[in-house]
Structure 1
Amino acid sequence: MKKRLAWYLWTIPLVLVLLVIAFKLIGLSVTTQSAISAYNRGAFETSAQYSESLLDTNIIEPWIPYFNRGDAYAAAEFYVESIDDFEKALELAPEAKKCDVRVNLALSWETLGDIYAEGGFFQGAVLLYETAEAVIAEGGEDCTPPQQSSDDLDAAGDRVEEKREDAEARRDAQNEGQEGEGSTDDKLDELGDQEDQGAQEKADGEARDRGEGEGGSGYTDKPW
């Protein structure tokens, strides 16, 4: 009897641990489903908030909340924030999933470059396109986009290269046409590079001012 009681007492901590894990997994599932629902109805910022609440709790697959929040940010046209999350997801993701993340990271850099080019900040666009090209190149030949992605990395690389070359040509023409006036230099000073937070916020604002776009089209689906 005493041995049986001792065995029961010994198993209590284990049972409690299992219960805590079970409740935690249930909570993760509920929150994840809320993020899915918010995303599907177009409430991208709300979806991002739900994913954010999982950043410190999903210890099994810690890259997924960053990827999901980045996807929501990209759909909401907060490209700087989405880039930050995709880069973190790329750092944490297992090798088998890094290509999924790389597709969206490259597309976010490219889209931000498009915004800079549309605003006439061609040097900034060149830098952003170069970064997108580097992300694609680092994927290597073994990086095959998932079936749900509408983007092919080889085609994306060619597309970004053309955009970069066009931005370089327009930058050079702009510099030649305004040589000595100082206006181009003023614009570039205002823009800085892709690490200039003020310029990034300006680019985000320009993206949102363009009105409703295609949401998250082109991005790899969320690995929920």
Structure 2
Amino acid sequence: MPKNGMKKMIHDQASYVLLDLRSKKAADAGHIKGAFSLPADQLAAAKDKFPKDKSAPIILYNDGQASAEAFAVVRGWGYKNTTVLDGGAKAWDGKFFPGDTPTKITYVKKLKPGEITIAEFKKAAAGKSANTVILDVRDAGAEGTIPGAINIPQEELADRLTELPKDKEIIIHCNTGILASMAYKTLQEKGYKARYVDAVVQVAADGSMEISPK
């Protein structure tokens, strides 16, 4: 992770987990804004403290020594978006913040425009609101359909808009969120009230559903 990239994430208030792998004493003396203290020798025992969302960006830094071992451990746990801050604390030319560094790791994903949480999607899919409709934009041959959902493949959506109600909110899903985000933009441009879920959605033949973060 380049220093400028880290500065931009801080400035943009992006969603990420920044871990200071130095001693707690060193972190409290001065740490990068938003960092959590997790000394490198305590990393292996902290696996259960990491976010459940394996897509969470994890950024590691220490006092300039190689962070390759910590990187390998965290990536090995399935956090594919793990990076190391170039040069560590010694090379950081931004501001350091003294004071108690939190040790409890928290991560809240920053939603993109139109995106809903997995919990919100589950509620909508359960049919608990008469003011919403589920739109499945997977291919027509995809297995299973959530009960009550409308299936219109994303590539056909622009030609089949009349099949969708304009007086209800349309909640869109696909398998991975990619097609759903494209469909969301199409509906937004046409004046529909729509949102989408950016997650892995698997629908069984009986309509039951499993959903997990990407």
Larger fraction in helix: 1
The structure with the largest alpha-carbon Rg is 1
TM-score, structure 1 normalization: 0.23
Structure with the larger strand share: 2
